[in-house]
């Protein structure tokens, strides 16, 4: 029997997050939710499966997270289960999740991690869409098996891929038909991420960076996927030729209190006499547009897993030049082979130096195509998918 749903234009949409913590996927999905909530008649809410998360040497509380605050400010109903990310999902937690799911017309699962919990409750026929944000399906172990199982059971109706590399990888790993793996490319809020000479001046003053010094920024969490050791080895190589350069690292675990990072930086950069004053470890920040404007170049040194890295899009929207390793859709995103490098430290440093020397030309090209980075297309595509699935029973197998 088909479920009763809200009238079109009043579709109730629940997003389920594994938790609230710093990361590009949460930032991107939160932008989609707030955009849909503001621009459509859909009624959005978000439920986190944990109220605190321990990751990258940092315990992050949901109610202090930037995405949580953005959702609240946008008028989206937000809640989190009272448990830590390492705790057990008990009966009470699952009962709350089940009630929330059955009160919705459509569920959006942020990545595949929440699927284990969704598979343990009676969804009552509520269609579930999963947003996929990586290009290595096996990275999270059983999560990809949960995805396949819930697709087979008819609980998950579509898995939305943020990049072509994501679609290819998940199709190859799971056999899910391409028609059930639509691609919706990431985008950014161009009103928030924009060039600003005043931000550039102010942030450099705050950090003690001279106005003419080259600045390389890494916006990432302290995770093996991001290959921070490669980044620091490239910094050491750059410093031999450009000792006046400054380096900014921000994200979860990118702070002086992370002993692993501090020791790694000290060992890798011991030959750079100016490192103490020129390496800035800022941790989690909520003012990323300001930091991108302060930088001349944003680096991505990831080894695997990336699909459509949000840091590249955000940086380009401010006019900052990106240089990336060839992971996921990154090479296509930066749009110039000169901005794509191998994984050898000296080659990375040479690519950075060349990009710095050609900065004005790269910046003009990037800003000339800036409108293509808008999140508007992403919000519109999700709006259409939600409405399609809100009245969608035909493609779900009969139980």
Q: 120, 151 in Cβ contact below 8 A?
A: no
What does the alpha-carbon distance between residue 294 and residue 196 come to, in Å, rounded to a whole number? 9
Strand-pair partners of 322: 298
How does residue 60 score in pLDDT terms, banded at 50, 70 and 90? confident
- Segment 178-200 shows an average pLDDT of 97
* pLDDT confidence band for 23 (50 / 70 / 90): confident
The three-state secondary structure class of 161 is strand
Q: What is the rounded distance in angstroms from the CA atom of residue 118 to the CA atom of residue 130?
A: 11
Q: For the chain, give the mean pLDDT.
A: 93
Instruction: Please write the tens of the pLDDT for every residue from 131-184.
Output: 999 999 987 778 999 999 999 999 999 999 999 999 999 999 999 999 999 999
CB contact set of 273 (below 8 Å; sequence gap of 6+)? 243
H or E element in which residue 321 lies = strand 321-325
Instruction: Using alpha carbons, list the distances in angstroms from residue 334 to 162, 315, 323.
Output: 16, 10, 8
> How does residue 112 score in pLDDT terms, banded at 50, 70 and 90?
very high
Average pLDDT over residues 34-61: 90
- CA atoms within a 13 Å half-sphere pointing along the CA-CB vector of 62: 21
Task: Kindly report, residue by residue over 253-301, the tens digit of the pLDDT.
Answer: 999 999 999 999 999 999 998 899 999 999 999 999 999 999 999 999 9
The pLDDT-based confidence of 397 (bands split at 50, 70, 90) is: very low
Spatial neighbors of 395 by CB under 8 A, at least 6 apart, are 157
Based on DSSP, count helices (H) and strands (E) in the chain, helices before strands. Answer: 16, 14
Half-sphere exposure of 148 (CA within 13 A, CB side): 14
- Please state the pTM of the whole predicted model: 0.90
Tokens of 111: 């990545």
What is the SS3 string spanning 192-251?
Answer: CCCCCHHHHHHHHHHHCCCCCCCEEEEECCCCHHHCHHHHHHHHHHHHHHCCCCEEEEEC
User: How far apart are the C-alpha atoms of 181 and 132, rounded to whole Å?
Assistant: 9
97: Cβ contacts below 8 Å, ≥ 6 apart: 16, 47, 49, 81, 117, 118, 121
Task: Give the β-pairing of 12-17 and 128-132.
Answer: unpaired
Q: What is the average pLDDT across 118-129?
A: 96
| Residue-range domains of the chain with CATH | 12-187+375-390 (3.40.50.2000), 197-373 (3.40.50.2000)
State the pLDDT at residue 392: 55
- Residues in contact with 229: Cβ distance below 8 Å, sequence separation at least 6, in sequence order: 264, 268
The share of the chain scoring above pLDDT 70, in percent, equals 95
Q: What burial letters (b/e) apply to 174-189, b meaning 16+ CB within 10 Å?
A: bebeeebbebbbbbbb
């Amino acid at each position: 029997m088909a479920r009763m749903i809200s009238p079109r234009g009043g579709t109730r949409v629940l997003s389920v997050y594994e938790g609230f913590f710093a990361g590009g996927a949460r930032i991107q999905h939160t932008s989609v939710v707030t955009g849909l909530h503001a621009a459509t008649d859909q009624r959005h809410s978000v439920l986190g499966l944990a109220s605190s998360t321990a990751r990258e040497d940092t315990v992050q509380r949901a109610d202090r997270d930037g995405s949580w605050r953005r959702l609240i400010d946008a008028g989206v109903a937000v809640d989190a289960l009272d448990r830590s990310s390492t705790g057990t999902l008990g009966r009470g937690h699952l009962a709350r999740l089940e009630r929330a799911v059955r009160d919705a017309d459509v569920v959006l699962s942020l990545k595949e991690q929440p699927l284990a919990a969704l598979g343990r409750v009676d969804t009552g026929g509520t269609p579930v869409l999963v947003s996929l944000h990586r290009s290595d399906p096996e990275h999270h172990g059983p999560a990809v098996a949960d995805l396949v199982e819930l697709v087979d059971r008819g609980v998950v109706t579509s898995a939305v891929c943020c990049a072509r590399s994501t679609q290819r990888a998940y199709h190859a790993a799971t056999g899910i038909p391409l028609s059930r793996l639509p691609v919706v490319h990431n985008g950014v809020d161009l009103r928030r991420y924009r060039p600003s000479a005043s931000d550039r001046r102010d942030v450099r003053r705050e950090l003690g960076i001279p106005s003419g010094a080259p600045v390389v920024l890494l916006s990432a969490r302290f995770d093996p996927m991001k290959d921070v050791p490669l980044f620091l080895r490239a910094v050491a190589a750059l410093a031999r030729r450009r000792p006046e350069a400054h380096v900014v690292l921000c994200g979860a675990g990118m702070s002086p209190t992370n002993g692993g990072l501090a020791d790694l930086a000290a060992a890798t950069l011991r030959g750079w006499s100016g490192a103490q004053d020129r390496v800035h470890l800022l941790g989690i920040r909520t003012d990323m547009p300001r930091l991108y404007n302060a930088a001349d170049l944003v680096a991505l040194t990831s080894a695997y897993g990336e699909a459509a890295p949000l840091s590249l899009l955000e940086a380009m929207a401010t006019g900052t030049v990106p240089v990336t390793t060839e992971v996921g859709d990154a090479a296509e995103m930066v749009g110039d082979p000169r901005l794509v490098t191998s994984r050898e430290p000296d080659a990375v440093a040479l690519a950075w130096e060349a990009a710095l020397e050609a900065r004005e030309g790269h910046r003009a090209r990037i800003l000339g195509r800036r409108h293509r980075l808008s999140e508007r297309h992403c919000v519109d595509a999700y709006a259409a998918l939600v409405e399609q699935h809100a009245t969608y029973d035909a493609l779900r197998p009969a139980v």
